[in-house]
Structure 1
Amino acid sequence: MTSTFSGLRHPARVVVAAFASAVAVGTVLLMLPLSAESGEPTDLVTALFTSTSAVCVTGLVVVDTPGHWSTFGEIVIAGLIQVGGLGIMTLASLLGLLITRRIGLRMRLTAQAETKALELGDVRRVVKGVALVSVSFETVIAAALTVRFLTGYDYAFGTALYHGVFHAISAFNNAGFALYPDSLTRFATDGWICLPIVVAVIAGGLGFPVWIELWRHARHVLRRWSLHVKLTLLTTAALFVVGTVAITTAEWNNPATLGQFGVAGRLLTGFFHAVMPRTAGFNSVDVGEFESGTLLVNDILMFVGGGSAGTAGGIKVTTFALLAFVIIAEVKAQPTVHVLGRKVPSTAQRQALAVVLLSVGAVVTATLALLALTPFSLDEVLFESVSAFATVGLSTGITTALPVSGELLLTVLMFLGRIGPITLASALALRERTRRYELPEERPIIG
């Protein structure tokens, strides 16, 4: 067999099947009496919701993680997070390589014998690379957190190591699960805890293709970087700055959030909460106490998400940036879209637009449904819907108060949000065809 992945005619189905299988296995494990502190079986809906949240690296919970789940249950959750994070990075990277080869095949007009298949060596190289990047970052972050728990909080070595490893896995995979009922609020002003978490979140959210390219071209900064890497890094940095300024300014005097700290604590917390919507889900202050404007800023940051083929969710920063350049080109009446010295094909523009509009449709539909099912406000429900779809895990506190129908709705939304953008984008790219004829042109009135 010369191909293991692209021999499939519908590779996107592999993503759906793989994640559905992982969710099913996780649900069964979490339903076991051994997984709960009480020693009683966990009900199906709670186990399904938690398993989906872990595999889709979201972080939304309907039960208190350290209070409800036993050590075995927490290990299962950590394992599901790792599987979900590694899985999406690997499959998304393979799909990206598959798309690149197919498009490259057409552009080069090579012989039909040079198929667009991924060889076994390609698959092994991607899998090994993803595993190496993940384990490297998680090991460093786990060590840093373990040392801090040991020296700053007098944890026993075993406890410190356990907490360090769990939170490193959760952070790098942008999952947002924490072993504390209040997430990381007890460490809000502790930079030795918050900053390693931030580094892990950013590292996982950039995506495997970015790290591989940065490694290969470490001596040729910018000059040999691809358009994807440049867009990812520049847009990510810009959103961090805008998010930090907006959140810190809006919450500076709010005594329930940043206002309770000194200047250094406010700056640290503001930066922390600008990074978390991208899409980690940890919180160091009560999100439910945010001002309405801050919630809206978080909605936008969560919806955009992180880098492609990474552990973050959302529509991805490259999609967001590309549409911004499309708008700029249209405003300037330019016939084509140029981004950082490169021309972007119209097919990529249409694919980005399709991903964004369908994602908006999913969030709006879920928001309307939750408004009908629950007594909560639009701010709260919209925040919850965006958080679930973008696989963030932040919540204003209403998740545990949702009815079963609301929990099932968010379960579906988390699953769609995790696999939807990548499978949709890859399916559109792989189905790209040339028309054999064109219909007569007619322009409707716009605006």
Structure 2
Amino acid sequence: MNSRATTGPGLGRRRFRLHPAQAVAAGFAVTVLLGAGLLSLPIAKVGPGGASFAEAIFTATSAVCVTGLTVVDTATFWTPFGQVVILLLIQIGGFGVMTFASVIGLAVVRRLSLRSRVTAASEVRSVGLEDVKGLVLGVVTISLIVEGVVAVLLSLRFLFGYGEPVGQAIWLGVFHSVSSFNNAGFALFSDNLMGYAVDPFICLPIAAAVILGGLGFPVIVQLRKHLRSPLLWSMNTRIVLAGTVTLLVAGTVYITAVEWSNPATLGPMDWPAKILAGFFQSVQTRTAGFNSVDIGAMDSASLLGMDVLMFIGGGPAGTAGGIKITTFAVLYFILVAEVRGDGVVNVFGKRLSRAVHRQAISVVLMAVFVVVVSTAILMVLTDLTLDVLLFETISAFGTVGLSTGITADLPPAGQVILILLMFIGRLGPITFASALALREHPVAYELPKERPIIG
């Protein structure tokens, strides 16, 4: 008898099992549908009747994929019940659906099956099955600690700085803390955070949570263990930290300089407020999506620079989106090695695996393809300009959530494009492609080599 046979009368049939990448994609899809169902209930929407399916599915996708793009005003359209549903979807999406399921499994049976470890490992990008349990528990612990600290800081500020009632201050603190650490960008104010653009006690805790969430859980876990021992940091940790600092500084300088005299954004502020707002907006382009200035009023040059930052994104295996800092860094080091004529690519004293070269190139090419095709379709569907459509497309794909204000005005087909972009962007192009493949096809032979002319 075939040992792999069987559920049912037919012996010899293989049991149907999802590939780990397929399981991750299916988990996110099911969570989105469940969230959309809850948001469609009349109790979730202010006023008579429930939200339309289009409104519910877009909001649920944006929350689970921790993006922040919206077609309705989160502050006024949804009831407290609807806002709680959005908060839970953000938290589950930030943890990762399979990571969240693993946590439930650990809480109930206090162990993970091999299948659960393999699936969770594919989602959190673990390097080995033996460390999955520790990494999963680390994800939960770190998330709750950071969210708790930031929630307390924000709640106190809303309470004593703005005179909010105690309950409302706590709710605002908790919601924006979870939304920021998970890089979601949902806010409970109709103008997002524009009303707090010059308040460092609101902007800086949110920015700190966004940065920490964008580092990626493997980096945070390693820093927690070896913060004072940089020699023990992995190549991944070093690349993410160096890239994060570089992009944050470059983004702050660029956005602040371009918008310095813009009367609709930074122009009316004094110079400390301009630097704060420029820094805050640079942080948000790392896939968070909050805005303290009017994105639609920003200079086209600023939008282009933010396109680049959103496309790169944050660290892998965290709450950030984009192609990831590590992917961009690998391409940079490959370029440097080619310019120098080096036979291998060395990064921080280590040789880079050639398999990583192919993965990085594949991710970038697939990402560019998805963004270009989606932007072209939106240009056909609307009369909007290239700069705002490209910004919207990259924001959705990078799970950023920043918008020039056109999301709700897009036709239904355009909003479907954004839903697909958010889903693909959260899973990652390679994971999404793997989820669509029914099986792997190993090749038992190699073809002869030949080199085309390059350049």
Match of 1:385 among 376, 393, 396: 393
Aligned to 1:68: 77
Tell me how large the CA RMSD over aligned residues is.
Answer: 2.1
Separation in structure 2 between the aligned mates of residue 229 and residue 100 of structure 1, nearest angstrom: 13
Separation in structure 2 between the aligned mates of residue 89 and residue 280 of structure 1, nearest angstrom: 22
Match of 1:225 among 221, 227, 233: 233
Separation in structure 2 between the aligned mates of residue 432 and residue 327 of structure 1, nearest angstrom: 31
Contact 1:206 1:310 in 2 (8 A): yes
Aligned to 1:362: 370
Q: 1:434 to 1:348 in 2, by over 3 A?
A: farther
**Secondary structure of the structure 2 residue equivalent to 1:17:** helix
Q: 1:329 to 1:15 in 2, by over 3 A?
A: same
1:316 aligns with 2:320: no
Amino acid at match of 1:42: A
Aligned to 2:127: 100
Deviations 1:75-120 (A, max 9, x none): 000010001001169389722777634xxxxxxxxxxxxxxxx36x
**Secondary structure of the structure 2 residue equivalent to 1:258:** coil
Contact 1:89 1:208 in 2 (8 A): no
Separation in structure 2 between the aligned mates of residue 427 and residue 162 of structure 1, nearest angstrom: 37
Aligned to 2:248: 240
Contact 2:179 2:187 in 1 (8 A): yes
Aligned to 1:169: 178
Aligned to 1:4: none
Separation in structure 2 between the aligned mates of residue 425 and residue 229 of structure 1, nearest angstrom: 26
Separation in structure 2 between the aligned mates of residue 26 and residue 318 of structure 1, nearest angstrom: 32
Q: CA deviation at 1:10?
A: 1.6
**Secondary structure of the structure 2 residue equivalent to 1:278:** coil
Separation in structure 2 between the aligned mates of residue 130 and residue 207 of structure 1, nearest angstrom: 9
Q: 1:96 to 1:51 in 2, by over 3 A?
A: closer
Aligned to 2:67: 58
Contact 2:24 2:98 in 1 (8 A): no
Aligned to 2:304: 296
User: Normalising to structure 1: TM-score of the pair?
Assistant: 0.90
Separation in structure 2 between the aligned mates of residue 332 and residue 433 of structure 1, nearest angstrom: 37
Separation in structure 2 between the aligned mates of residue 129 and residue 189 of structure 1, nearest angstrom: 34
Separation in structure 1 between the aligned mates of residue 271 and residue 124 of structure 2, nearest angstrom: 46
Aligned to 2:354: 346
Contact 1:93 1:309 in 2 (8 A): no
Aligned to 2:96: 87
Q: CA deviation at 1:335?
A: 1.1
Aligned to 1:107: none
Q: 1:433 to 1:346 in 2, by over 3 A?
A: farther
Aligned to 1:185: 194
Deviations 1:262-288 (A, max 9, x none): 001100000001100101000000001
Contact 1:93 1:208 in 2 (8 A): no
**Secondary structure of the structure 1 residue equivalent to 2:88:** helix
**Secondary structure of the structure 1 residue equivalent to 2:267:** helix
Separation in structure 2 between the aligned mates of residue 442 and residue 403 of structure 1, nearest angstrom: 48
Q: CA deviation at 1:292?
A: 0.9
Separation in structure 1 between the aligned mates of residue 45 and residue 408 of structure 2, nearest angstrom: 17
Where do 5+ consecutive residues of structure 1 fail to align? 1-6, 102-117
Aligned to 1:42: 51
Match of 2:260 among 249, 252, 257: 252
Q: CA deviation at 1:8?
A: 6.2
Q: CA deviation at 1:330?
A: 0.8
1:416 aligns with 2:424: yes
Separation in structure 1 between the aligned mates of residue 448 and residue 259 of structure 2, nearest angstrom: 55
Deviations 1:221-277 (A, max 9, x none): x21100000000000110001101110100001010111100011000000011001
Separation in structure 1 between the aligned mates of residue 419 and residue 46 of structure 2, nearest angstrom: 23
Contact 1:89 1:130 in 2 (8 A): no
Separation in structure 2 between the aligned mates of residue 27 and residue 385 of structure 1, nearest angstrom: 22
1:336 aligns with 2:344: yes
Match of 1:147 among 131, 147, 156: 156
Q: 1:66 to 1:14 in 2, by over 3 A?
A: same
Alignment of 1:100-139 (within 5 A): 100-101=127-128, 118=129, 122-139=131-148
Q: CA deviation at 1:432?
A: 9.8
Separation in structure 2 between the aligned mates of residue 233 and residue 178 of structure 1, nearest angstrom: 27
Contact 2:25 2:435 in 1 (8 A): no
Number of equivalent positions: 420
Q: 1:193 to 1:275 in 2, by over 3 A?
A: same
Deviations 1:166-206 (A, max 9, x none): 00000000000000010000000000000000000001110
User: Normalising to structure 2: TM-score of the pair?
Assistant: 0.88
Contact 1:30 1:42 in 2 (8 A): yes
Contact 1:137 1:200 in 2 (8 A): yes
Where do 5+ consecutive residues of structure 2 fail to align? 1-15, 101-118
Q: CA deviation at 1:218?
A: 2.4
